Structure 1
Amino acid sequence: MLAETDAGTFLRDGLVGQGEEITFDPKDLGPVIPRPGKIICVGLNYARHILEMGRELPEFPTLFIKFPEALTGPYDDIHVRESDAGALDAEAELAVVIGKRAHRVSVEEATDHILGYSIINDYTQRDWQTRTLQFHQGKSYYRSAGFGPWIVTADEWQPGPRITATWGEEVFQDGTTDDLIFDCPTLVSFISQIYPLEPGDVIATGTPDGVGHARTPKRYIRDGETVTVAIEGIGAIANTTYIDSE
């Protein structure tokens, strides 16, 4: 029974460290946490990315929400309707997974509430995103955000890893998490002042420079193109986009 329980349930029910060893094909993996209670995304959090987007460095984190329905497996295909595919972009991101309830915790306390880290692609429809001042509508397309493949626990984590996004054979994003303006403990503390973070909640911490939308000319994901997001010490996810006729 435990072998059929997803990682989010393990966290919420305090079952971490229990269960049976299983074998599987990596292509069969779903999102590493299928239905987080909350997915909080941080915009404009890498200094060089902020500059390429023509914005000023923020004083406080910029937050928006992604819904669980936006998640897909680390190696799943992404299907987008042709009418929704005018400006598809990828954002390689380090994801923080909460392991213990955090409410109004300090930066110094925040690390104790982090279970570990994973990879998420904040897949983005730039045309939808830029229709208003709010990011959300361009960030939650159904089954578009690859998430996984593993959670690396905090005790095994090495700060400052390289993070990349490769489209086909071309490297688009190539940075390190040292470029973060607000680091992971700072984000956990800041968000926990607004509402409690619960086990299994996820924070997507922002993306490095090199996104397609910031290029001249702008470059968007094409039909049949595979985007691979990798973070040293965690692994890589790879999702192929297919643009479907109406």
Structure 2
Amino acid sequence: MKTILIVDDEPRTREGVRKVLESWSAGRYRITTSTSAVEALKWLDENEANLVITDIRMPEINGLELVEKLRERPHSPVIIVISGHPQFDYAHKALQFGVIEYLLKPLDKTKLVEAVELAFRREEEMNRVERMERIVDTKLLETTEQETQYGTQVKEAIQYLDEHLGESITMKDTADYLHMNASYFSVLFKEQSGLTFSDYLTRRRMQRAKELLMNTRLSINEIAEKVGYQTAKYFVKVFRSHEGVSPGQYRKGVSHAEETIQ
């Protein structure tokens, strides 16, 4: 269940926002409150919020300082700022920090709900991007983006690899398919793609493995086979060396990210 944290030192506003959102959410979201930014930060040390709605003017730490501190955290929530003062400087600063909406008091209930719905849509987009970043091999992506500049033989080699990724394919197999000398093909591939044949093949296999770990419930053994490794043990060794975690650990991390989207 996603959590909304309301931070406001004024009891009337704080409880008013809570009641509106509890009525709107109909039990779909956990809604909690803090009476100050200090209290909110302590709560967030042990809990996680998907959305923070904070007032600007509060004692000790104001709302903008709270937003700045939240942005420094690894998993920053989306944020809505509320204020009784239509000051441009506050609004501008809030937007610089990536705040989703800046609402003025007295709060319009409809606008509040619309802002919360927008915030959760934005959170889903951010999570989706984060998940994709975890899959994408940036070096492989750079190579793919330059593919239009490659010669016909290297393009055909890449297509051949993609079509036979689940097989125990070698550089000699690929060179033979292209009717090329293996040594010449090796130099040509590195020259045009920026990667050695072996490095490209491993990165492509790891990319496919991550896609399967995220999007399927196939076992590690089955995934190892589908990406061209004869034993799961060797696949796990290569995956850990490349990604820093085992395939099982990677899948758990991705599954957690998926839960935040639903």
Interval containing the TM-score (normalised by the shorter chain): under 0.3
TM-score calculated relative to the size of structure 1: 0.22
Q: Who wins on radius of gyration, i.e. which is larger? A: 2
Higher relative contact order (Cα pairs below 8 Å, separated by 6+ residues) = 1
TM-score (norm 2): 0.21
Counting strand residues as a fraction of each chain, which structure ranks higher? 1
Higher-helix-fraction structure:
2
